[in-house]
């Protein structure tokens, strides 16, 4: 079984996202998107049961490759990435085009994603990749049971439903779906000798265009100049009064 897992390097989410000409500004050192840790965890659990090869696929400015290292530290075998100036500010379709080409080049049977990235959160790339690869997409997976069969539980608008994982498919995993593992010192050292390969965009078939044109970012005044009261035991009374005034009680 060959598994490709998507890992996105993003600016440290502790800092506010900043934009330059409509594109997210990316520092040299980016980190692994926590959202992707859930997908990587699922891949590693499959590897443990089925002896799979797990390859990280990634697109975007590679910089110090810290995020890729973090993905390898969890236990993936190797990483391939595309980093090309022509992809700066790539829309979701272009991103999916590149990632599906990478998955194809690896002959991946199973391609796994988080549900949406923390910085761009368009939430469409896993489904788009499945369409490019002509595979079914099992989206919003919130639980995985691995026995001889693999049973996936999908989140639906009304509740949930289960499916058996087919031999080939694309999966997106919701945050909280599984418990991502923390690498130990040995894992961190081992990751340093794992292969990371850059793939040239000229080796891939890309036929998407930048159909979305950035116009403008406008700041809106959001903050309210509300009352702020420090509770010294009686602040509940302020809430009660306000709820009466608003005719809630």
Partner 1 sequence: MKTLIIGEIINNNLSSGTLEILGKAKSLDLDVQVVTVGSDENPSIGVDLCKQTYLKRQNNSLNLSKAATKISEIIKNEEINLILGSSTYMCRDLISFLSVDLNSSPVSNVIDFDVSSGNVSTVNSINGGESLYKTKINSDQALLLIRPKAFDPVEVNFNDDFETIDLDGSDLEVFDIFIEEKSGPQLEDSKVVISAGRGMVDKENLELIETLASKLNAAIGGTRAIVDAGWMPYSQQVGQTGKTVKPDVYIACGISGATQHQVGMKDSKFVIAINKDEEAPIFQLADLGIVGDTLSVIPKLNDNI
Which 64-93 positions form the footprint of partner 1 (CB under 8 A)? 91-93
Choose which of 85, 148, 158, 197 interacts with partner 1 (CB under 8 A): 158
CA angle 101, 3, 184 (to 5 degrees): 120
Choose which of 162, 184, 195, 205 interacts with partner 1 (CB under 8 A): 162
Q: How far apart are the first and last CA of the chain?
A: 61
Q: Which residues of 132-142 are buried (b: 16+ CB within 10 A; e: fewer)?
A: bbebebbbbbb
Q: How many CB atoms lie within 10 A of CB 70?
A: 23
CA 153 to CA 165: how far, in whole Å? 10
Residue with tokens 């890729």: 68
CA 236 to CA 73: how far, in whole Å? 49
Choose which of 52, 94, 99, 110 interacts with partner 1 (CB under 8 A): 94
Is 242 a binding residue for partner 1 by CB under 8 A? The answer is: yes
CA 55 to CA 57: how far, in whole Å? 6
Number of residues this chain uses to bind partner 1 (CB under 8 A): 79
Residue nearer to partner 1 on the CB measure, 46 or 138: 138
Enter the tokens of residue 113: 């994603």
Write out the H or E segment, with its range, that includes residue 110.
strand 110-114
Is 240 a binding residue for partner 1 by CB under 8 A? The answer is: yes
Is 219 a binding residue for partner 1 by CB under 8 A? The answer is: yes
Residue nearer to partner 1 on the CB measure, 57 or 94: 94
Choose which of 12, 28, 156, 189 interacts with partner 1 (CB under 8 A): 156
CB of 192 to partner 1, least distance (A): 31
Among 56-64, 153-161, 185-193, 195-203, which window interacts with partner 1 (CB under 8 A)? 153-161
Choose which of 61, 63, 89, 123 interacts with partner 1 (CB under 8 A): 123
Is 115 a binding residue for partner 1 by CB under 8 A? The answer is: yes
Q: How many CB atoms lie within 10 A of CB 182?
A: 9
Scan residues 165-194 and list those touching partner 1 (CB under 8 A): 166, 174-176
Interaction mask 14-33, partner 1, x per CB under 8 A:
--xx-x--x-----------
CB of 126 to partner 1, least distance (A): 8
CB–CB of 39/70 below 8 Å? Answer: no
Is 124 a binding residue for partner 1 by CB under 8 A? The answer is: yes
CB of 227 to partner 1, least distance (A): 5
**Number of Cα atoms under 13 Å in the Cβ half of residue 89:** 13
Length of the chain: 249
Residue nearer to partner 1 on the CB measure, 192 or 246: 246
């Amino acid at each position: 079984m060959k598994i490709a897992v998507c890992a996105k390097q993003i600016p440290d989410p502790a800092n506010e996202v900043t934009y330059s000409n409509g594109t997210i500004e990316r520092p040299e050192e980016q980190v692994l998107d926590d959202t992707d840790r859930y997908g990587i965890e699922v891949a590693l659990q499959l590897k443990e049961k089925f002896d799979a090869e797990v390859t990280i696929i990634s697109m975007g400015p590679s910089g110090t490759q810290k995020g890729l290292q973090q993905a390898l530290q969890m236990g993936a075998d190797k990483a391939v990435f595309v980093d090309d100036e022509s992809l700066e500010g790539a829309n979701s379709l272009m991103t999916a085009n590149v990632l599906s080409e990478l998955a194809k080049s690896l002959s991946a049977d199973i391609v796994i994603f988080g549900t949406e990235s923390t910085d761009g959160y368009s939430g469409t790339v896993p489904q788009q990749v499945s369409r490019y690869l002509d595979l079914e997409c099992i989206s919003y997976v919130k639980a995985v049971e691995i026995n001889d069969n693999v049973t996936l539980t999908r989140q639906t608008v009304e509740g949930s439903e289960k499916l058996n994982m087919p031999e080939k498919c694309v999966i997106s995993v919701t945050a909280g779906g599984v418990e991502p593992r923390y690498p130990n010192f040995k894992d961190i050292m081992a990751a340093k000798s794992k292969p990371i390969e850059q793939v040239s965009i000229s080796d891939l078939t890309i036929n998407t265009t930048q159909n979305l044109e950035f116009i403008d970012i406008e700041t809106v005044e959001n903050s309210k100049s509300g009352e702020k009261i420090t509770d010294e035991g009686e602040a509940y009374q302020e809430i009660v009064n306000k709820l009466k005034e608003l005719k809630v009680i």
